[in-house]
Structure 1
Amino acid sequence: MLRVALASLIAFLSIALLPAEANARLQCVAYARQIGEVHLSGNGRDWWGNAQGVYARGARPQAGAVLAFKGTGAMPYGHVAVVSKIVDSRHILINHANWSAPGMIERGVEVVDVSTAGDWSQVRVWYGKTRSLGLRPSPTFGFIYPRSAPADAAPSIVLPTVTASVDVASAAAQG
């Protein structure tokens, strides 16, 4: 019980203590450009194609890379998020905006690769309203790497499947 209360407090503080300019309601694209090193135009669904020939792209997560989501019926404009930390081969943390609530900025949000091939083509993202991973998988294109990324980040590499237990309270504390 204490752990859940502490996790909730940490989650609140991680959003409440953002710099004033970051507390403004932002769309995912504007926020990703503001905090990351990948600067593209268009809706989230357009970033993958717009990155071709400009930034390296692939299926391997890396801190600082942008995870580009495909457009769907529920998310027609797609989505983009900046990877903040690699937890293991199937779990990362991201910073993004406009996911759990309109314009809301979230940092340290858990994302789980649920693709059968382990290639990050389908993910579940922590959803603040339900305080759990999303109910449906979201399709992604992959990762767009900043120009400062090491040369070995560019190839599309399928990571091995690793079964890991993620503590939901810990994930809540970071999202």
Structure 2
Amino acid sequence: MKRIPRTLLCLTLAALTATSATAGSLLNYVGECVPFARAASGIQIYGNAWTWWSQADGKYERTHKPKEGAVIVFAKTARLPMGHVAVVSRVVEKRVVMLTHANWSRQNGERGHAEQDVTLFDVSPRNDWSDVKVWYKDVDGLGGGIYPVYGFIYGHAHAAAELTSRNPDYVGALIDAYVPGSGEPVAR
């Protein structure tokens, strides 16, 4: 059996990964969060997710206010050694947005799948989106962890139409309505 040179194999796998987010539906994507966010948002940044914030400086608008199609950049932590990026699919209210992202919850026992309209809740002390909680499918609720966030990157192009469903589940709005103190800052 003929061996494929390692360089050729790596380049082929990279090309397949880069195009898999755009092949067919974004929601059929399985892989890392970075290629998914790039394909879904149109923001052309490469490298580990946590580096997107600094790479965007001078190329894209960076802010602490969410809007549809913006990429949120999670900081590098022990739990997220490469950070995480996700795309805002819908702004529900000032402290709740919906995300569409890949490689967060397990689906059918494995990571990497795309998830549409996932609840993200701002729990930062200053209401500035610097600390968030994320809906975690494995527990069917907001995960127990609080994740530090750098902020939102606004792209120049239109975001993918599939970011949000026609009938999103407004779980985030219910959190503020029915969870006592959910709108209050949470200490770390």
Fold equivalence (TM over 0.5): yes
* Residue aligning to 2:151: 142
* Residue aligning to 2:137: 128
Query: Contact 2:49–2:83 at 8 Å: present in 1 too?
Result: yes
* Residue aligning to 1:99: 104
The count of aligned residue pairs is 137
- For residues 145 and 103 of structure 1, the distance between their equivalents in structure 2, rounded to whole angstroms, comes to 24
RCO comparison, higher one (Cα < 8 Å, 6+)? 1
Determine helix, strand or coil for the equivalent of 2:176.
coil
- For residues 78 and 62 of structure 1, the distance between their equivalents in structure 2, rounded to whole angstroms, comes to 20
Q: CA deviation at 1:23?
A: 1.8
- What's the TM-score, normalizing by structure 1? 0.73
1:38 to 37, 43, 48: 43
2:124 to 91, 95, 115: 115
Counterpart mapping for 1:10-89 below 5 A: 19=24, 22-89=27-94
The 1:131/1:118 distance shift into structure 2, 3 A limit, reads same
Determine helix, strand or coil for the equivalent of 1:164.
helix
- For residues 165 and 139 of structure 1, the distance between their equivalents in structure 2, rounded to whole angstroms, comes to 24
Structure with larger Rg = 2
Amino acid at match of 1:145: Y
- What's the TM-score, normalizing by structure 2? 0.68
- For residues 125 and 178 of structure 2, the distance between their equivalents in structure 1, rounded to whole angstroms, comes to 19
Identity of aligned residues (%): 40
- Runs of 4+ residues over 3 Å off in structure 1: 19-22
- For residues 166 and 123 of structure 1, the distance between their equivalents in structure 2, rounded to whole angstroms, comes to 18
- For residues 59 and 178 of structure 2, the distance between their equivalents in structure 1, rounded to whole angstroms, comes to 35
- For residues 125 and 149 of structure 2, the distance between their equivalents in structure 1, rounded to whole angstroms, comes to 13
Q: CA deviation at 1:24?
A: 3.7
- For residues 165 and 26 of structure 1, the distance between their equivalents in structure 2, rounded to whole angstroms, comes to 35
Amino acid at match of 2:114: I
Q: CA deviation at 1:21?
A: 6.2
Q: CA deviation at 1:25?
A: 1.4
Determine helix, strand or coil for the equivalent of 2:78.
coil
Amino acid at match of 2:94: S
- For residues 73 and 29 of structure 1, the distance between their equivalents in structure 2, rounded to whole angstroms, comes to 18
Determine helix, strand or coil for the equivalent of 1:63.
coil
Root-mean-square deviation over aligned CA pairs:
2.1
The 1:166/1:56 distance shift into structure 2, 3 A limit, reads farther
- For residues 98 and 124 of structure 2, the distance between their equivalents in structure 1, rounded to whole angstroms, comes to 17
Q: CA deviation at 1:96?
A: 0.2
- Summarize deviations over 1:17-47 as a string: whole Å, max 9, x none: xx45642411100100111121201111000
* Residue aligning to 1:164: 176
- For residues 178 and 118 of structure 2, the distance between their equivalents in structure 1, rounded to whole angstroms, comes to 13
